[in-house]
């Protein structure tokens, strides 16, 4: 009997694009990111249709124990002095973690626990990031290329964006020609 060697989905290391039959894509545009960047006037000056990031995901079955695989492609740029970033979220099921891996470009992963303590990890091709449960996460593109990162997370985790209405405790900006993380007082 011939047992077939099945062909799984693949991800291109160069750019994080999937080769698979069922890829779902979602674009997040400037206009979707209301109140995310601290320079409101600079954000308003950017056309609302401007794409900031795309997420492509394998269309996986959902359920307890099932996993999603996705790739985020975050464009380079700044809103005022602040680098482009994803909205960022806690998981709705707070105990659920996630793994990110850098594929392309340079950036930072901002992590924040439920006590509001934030930290940053460098993201670069091959970097592996273990996001524990109870930890909010946001990607920041500090480079000149697209920042692409692979992510694997439980399908039951869900996204809780509202819990971060006060924002993260750190912002990453370009000041005096340097990439700097600044503490935020009121989110
Ligand atoms: O599951 C994840 O953490 C990622 O796939 C993010 O959803 C993706 O980077 C987009 O970020 P956000 O959901 O915060 O807009
Ligand atoms: Ni997540």
CA atoms within 13 A on the CB side of 142: 21
User: Which residue is closest in CA terms to ligand 1's atom 13?
Assistant: 88
What's the 159 CA to ligand 2 centre distance in angstroms? Answer: 7
What's the 136 CA to ligand 2 centre distance in angstroms? Answer: 8
Residues, CB-to-ion distance under 5 Å, ligand 2: 98
Query: Is the Cα torsion angle 133, 37, 68, 127 positive or negative in sign?
Result: negative
C-beta of residue 89 within 8 angstroms of C-beta of residue 127: no
SS3 of 64, please?
coil
Q: What is the pLDDT of residue 21?
A: 87
What's the 2 CA to ligand 2 centre distance in angstroms? Answer: 40
C-beta of residue 141 within 8 angstroms of C-beta of residue 53: no
Q: What is the pLDDT of residue 186?
A: 62
For residue 37 the two structure tokens come to: 């960047």
The reply to whether ligand 1 has any atom less than 6 angstroms from the CB of 153 is yes
Closest-lying ligand 1 atom to the alpha carbon of residue 89: 14
C-beta of residue 131 within 8 angstroms of C-beta of residue 39: no
d(CA 158, CA 138): 15
d(CA 26, CA 128): 23
User: Cβ contacts of residue 185 below 8 Å, gap of 6+?
Assistant: none
Q: What is the pLDDT of residue 187?
A: 45
User: Cβ contacts of residue 45 below 8 Å, gap of 6+?
Assistant: none
What's the 165 CA to ligand 1 centre distance in angstroms? Answer: 16
The reply to whether ligand 1 has any atom less than 6 angstroms from the CB of 86 is yes
The reply to whether ligand 1 has any atom less than 6 angstroms from the CB of 70 is yes
Residues found in the chain: 187
Q: What is the pLDDT of residue 72?
A: 98
The domain segmentation of the chain, as residue ranges, is 19-183
What's the 126 CA to ligand 1 centre distance in angstroms? Answer: 19
User: Which residue is closest in CA terms to ligand 1's atom 2?
Assistant: 151
d(CA 133, CA 90): 9
156 phi and psi angles, rounded to 5 deg: -85, 0
C-beta of residue 66 within 8 angstroms of C-beta of residue 141: no
Q: What is the pLDDT of residue 27?
A: 98
Low-confidence stretches of the chain (pLDDT beneath 50): 187
The reply to whether ligand 1 has any atom less than 6 angstroms from the CB of 151 is yes
C-beta of residue 143 within 8 angstroms of C-beta of residue 76: yes
SS3 of 60, please?
coil
Superfamily of domain 19-183, CATH level 4: Jelly Rolls (2.60.120.10)
The reply to whether ligand 1 has any atom less than 6 angstroms from the CB of 99 is no
């Amino acid at each position: 009997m011939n047992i077939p060697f099945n062909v799984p989905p693949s991800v291109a290391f160069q750019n994080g694009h999937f080769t698979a039959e069922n890829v779902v894509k979602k674009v997040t545009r400037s206009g979707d990111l209301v109140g995310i960047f601290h320079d409101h006037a600079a954000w308003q000056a950017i056309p609302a249709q401007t794409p900031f990031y795309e997420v492509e995901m394998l269309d996986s079955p959902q359920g307890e124990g099932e996993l999603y695989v996705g790739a985020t492609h975050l464009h380079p740029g700044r809103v005022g002095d602040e680098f482009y970033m994803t909205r960022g979220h806690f998981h709705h099921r707070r105990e659920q973690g996630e793994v990110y891996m850098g594929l392309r470009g340079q950036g930072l992963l901002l992590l924040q626990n439920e006590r509001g303590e934030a930290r940053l990890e460098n993201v670069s091709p091959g970097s592996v990031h273990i996001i524990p449960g109870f930890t909010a996460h946001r990607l920041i593109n500090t480079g000149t290329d697209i920042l692409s990162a692979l992510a694997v997370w439980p399908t039951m985790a869900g996204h809780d964006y509202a819990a971060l209405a006060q924002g993260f405790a750190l912002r990453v900006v370009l000041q005096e020609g340097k990439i700097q993380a600044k503490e935020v007082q009121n989110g």
